[in-house]
Amino acid sequence: MMDTKKMMFGVTLILGTWISLSAETWMGAWVGLEMNLMSFIPLMINKENAFNSESGLKYFLIQAVASIILLTGMGLSGVMGNYGLGSYTLGAEFLMLMSLMLKLGVAPFHSWFPEVSSGISWSMNGILLTWQKLAPMGLMSSLFLSSSIFMNFFIMITMIVGGLGGLVQNSIKKILAYSSINHMGWMLMSLKLDINLWMMYYVIYCLLSISMVMIFDMLELNYLSQFSNIRNLELSTLLVVFMGMMSLGGLPPFMGFIPKWLVLDVMILNSEMFMSLLMVIMTLISLFYYLRLSFLLLILNNELLKSLSLTNNLSGKYNMILSLKALIISFNLFGLIFSFWFIS
């Protein structure tokens, strides 16, 4: 019965996003966002876990406040007779943009995002880090035309928070949350430059994030301190974790580097040198906590690296892990091939 309920809420979750993206008026977009919210909350909450319930309540309150701000902006726009997605006054546009940023967890409206992420299951984290970004970012694309003047400020703050915030975290979920904030800066910039560039970045980010979430879920890792309990992993599993983390960090020549490379290329063509330099520096700083995750796992399995033992302590989940290995390795091999082709 519970699986049927989850399936029903999953369908309405997808439907809500689709309604928002296909709406021609802000009222239709708001209805889709609320349907998405009301579907995600029941999926987040687990009666047997107080942290899930607390995170669900936090998420609901933040999204409710964001919806109120969005409705206020819609009201201001409606007073002027503007109801379409491309029609708004400057004040209404600012309120709508702030509400969507709050829904996404963009800095400086980010403080709720790591807290909610750390209190929910890995499967819900996969949705929060990926799918829940789609509708708000799609709606933001219609606001960028006249708001691009101050968008660089929010992108800059988001990159700084995402780059520095994960350095002092022990929770892997919070580390991935700050990683998501850092990637949000890149996605906002790509959305500002070209919608097709954003779509490519978003798809690659989603594939990498979901893959790493599934691996951490199957390894039952939530904190860095738990890495000491993970012994004798297969060498291929360690390689996959390393490649996945380096891809998320944007280290060349892995696949995650390619969308950042293309965004930087367009930024330089548009003479946005300062923002390019800042985003590269913050990404290099964020790469430190990806390296910390990877090297910690490698160091604690150093006996394996010396003996090249292929002991597997996760036999019940072996097939799923094997599939993820194939996905991530082939994904990054494609990145290598693309990089060499692009250079040549």
Each residue of 116-158: pLDDT tens digit?
Answer: 999 999 999 999 999 999 999 999 888 765 556 778 899 999 9
Residue 314's pLDDT band, with cuts at 50, 70 and 90, is: very low
Report the alpha-carbon distance of residue 17 to residue 32 in Å, rounded: 6
* CA dist., res. 204 & res. 244, Å (int): 12
Q: In degrees rounded to 5, what are phi and psi of residue 76?
A: -60, -40
Q: How far apart are CA 236 and CA 243, in angstroms?
A: 10
Residues of the chain with pLDDT > 90, as a percent, come to 45
Residue showing tokens 């995170």:
55
Contacts of 66 (CB under 8 A, 6+ apart): 99, 100, 102, 103
CB-side exposure of 213: number of CA atoms within 13 Å? 25
Residue 28 CB coordination number (10 Å):
15
Kind plus residue range of the DSSP H or E element containing 109: none
Predicted confidence (pLDDT) per residue in 188-201, tens digit: 999 988 899 999 99
**Within the chain, what is the greatest distance between any pair of CA atoms?**
72
CA dist., res. 241 & res. 294, Å (int): 7
Residue 341 in this model has a pLDDT that exceeds 60: no
**Phi and psi based region of residue 271 (left: phi greater than 0; alpha: psi -120 to 50; beta: remaining):** left
Per DSSP, the residues of 269-297 read: HTT-HHHHHHHHHHHHHHHHHHHHHHHHH
Residue 82: left (phi > 0), alpha (psi -120 to 50), or beta? beta
State CA 236 to chain mean position distance.
25
Q: Is the separation of the CB atoms in 112 and 167 below 8 Å?
A: no
**Burial class for 233, CB neighbours closer than 10 Å (0-12, 13-18, 19+):** buried
Q: Would you place residue 307 in the very low, low, confident or very high pLDDT band (cuts 50, 70, 90)?
A: very low
Note the pLDDT of residue 168. Answer: 86
- The pLDDT assigned to 2 comes to 54
Q: Between these two residues, 144 and 19, which has the higher pLDDT value?
A: 19
Both tokens assigned to 22: 């296909």
Lowest mean pLDDT across 105-119, 202-216, 295-309? 295-309
Length of the chain: 344
Could you identify the residue written with the tokens 């800095």? 107
Cross-strand bridge partners of residue 25: 84
